[in-house]
């Protein structure tokens, strides 16, 4: 039986099954990357809902696991060397889980780096830019009189979607026929931009062909559908 008592986060979010991977999350575009991945690989895990609307990610217990105060974060009781491994940053978690299970990351070295490149593209560009569109179009920034920030993030998001659109021409997935962590990282963000953020018109989503077809393929996967709702909001 694993002992996770050394991790202060388990005081606020106790582990019922300390032998299972512990996921601290919420179904946001960053959170669902990990829940989709966990559903895809079928590793047993336990979820803990961290309500960011109530600032729970800024509590001392959560900050002890992720000093950056953001979901998702995890503890794998069976990490490298059989020791518990705490981890934050969704991209790092995806890479870790892919390497742990040998799934959704090509083994060929060149293709492996290419996949990681697209994961970084999501982490460094798609996520932050789409997130700013959310802030300035849907959330508090909507009230700002100066529309230049919104314009800038919309234009940048449009450009990034264009990069994906060109890359996906003639491809089923970001890595050709192989569904990988690059797709898992990116699907939830595109879905959110045109869904929850309601920014489809702003970024002229209707003019795209390859991205919507890829998104539809991704959303048709049962593990993606399940992962999008984990942990379930109350
Ligand atoms: N780069 C981080 C970003 C995580 C992130 O921004 N999480 C958001 C939810 S999608 C969050 O926890 N926000 C809470 C807050 O800032 O108060 C990752 O990919 O893990």
Look-up of token digits 């962590």: 181
Supply 110's token pair. 């060149």
pLDDT at 131 over 90: yes
pLDDT over 90 percentage in the chain: 99
End-of-domain residue from the set 58, 83, 103:
103
Pair 41, 121 in one domain: no
CA distance 77 to 175: 31
pLDDT tens digits, one per residue of 204-214: 999 999 999 99
Number of domain units in the chain: 2
In-domain check, residue 3: no
66 lines ligand 1 (CB under 6 A): no
CA distance 191 to 212: 9
pLDDT tens digits, one per residue of 41-84: 999 999 999 999 999 999 999 999 999 999 999 999 999 999 99
CA distance 181 to 143: 36
> Residue 91 sits in which domain range?
9-103
Pair 93, 193 in one domain: no
End-of-domain residue from the set 81, 103, 125:
103
CA distance 73 to 56: 13
**Residue 62 is part of a domain; what is its CATH number?**
3.40.30.10
In-domain check, residue 233: no
In-domain check, residue 2: no
CA distance 146 to 189: 25
End-of-domain residue from the set 103, 129, 151:
103
Residue from 67, 70, 128, 135 to probe ligand 1 pocket by mutation (most atoms less than 8 Å from CB):
70
122 lines ligand 1 (CB under 6 A): no
Supply 89's token pair. 């940053």
**Residue 217 is part of a domain; what is its CATH number?**
1.20.1050.10
Centre a 10 Å sphere on the Cβ of residue 92 and count the other Cβ atoms it contains: 13
């Amino acid at each position: 039986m694993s002992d996770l008592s050394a991790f202060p986060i388990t005081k606020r979010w106790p582990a019922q099954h300390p032998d299972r991977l512990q996921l601290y999350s919420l179904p946001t575009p960053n959170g669902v990357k990990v829940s989709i991945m966990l559903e895809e690989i079928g590793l047993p895990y336990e979820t803990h809902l961290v309500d960011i609307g109530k600032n729970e990610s800024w509590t001392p217990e959560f900050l002890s696991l992720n000093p950056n105060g953001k979901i998702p974060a995890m503890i794998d009781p069976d990490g490298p060397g059989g020791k518990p491994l705490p981890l934050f940053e969704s991209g790092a978690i995806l890479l870790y889980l892919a390497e742990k299970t040998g799934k959704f990351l090509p083994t060929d070295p060149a293709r492996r780096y290419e996949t990681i490149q697209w994961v970084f593209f999501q982490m460094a560009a798609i996520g932050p830019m789409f997130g700013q569109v959310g802030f300035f179009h849907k959330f508090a920034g909507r009230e700002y009189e100066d529309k230049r920030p919104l314009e800038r993030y919309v234009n940048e998001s449009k450009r990034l979607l264009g990069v994906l659109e060109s890359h996906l021409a003639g491809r089923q997935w970001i890595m050709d026929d192989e569904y990988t962590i690059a797709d898992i990282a990116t699907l939830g963000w595109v879905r959110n931009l045109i869904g929850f953020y309601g920014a489809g018109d702003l970024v002229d989503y209707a003019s795209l062909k390859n991205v919507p077809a890829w998104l539809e393929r991704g959303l048709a996967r049962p593990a993606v559908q399940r992962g999008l709702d984990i942990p379930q909001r109350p």
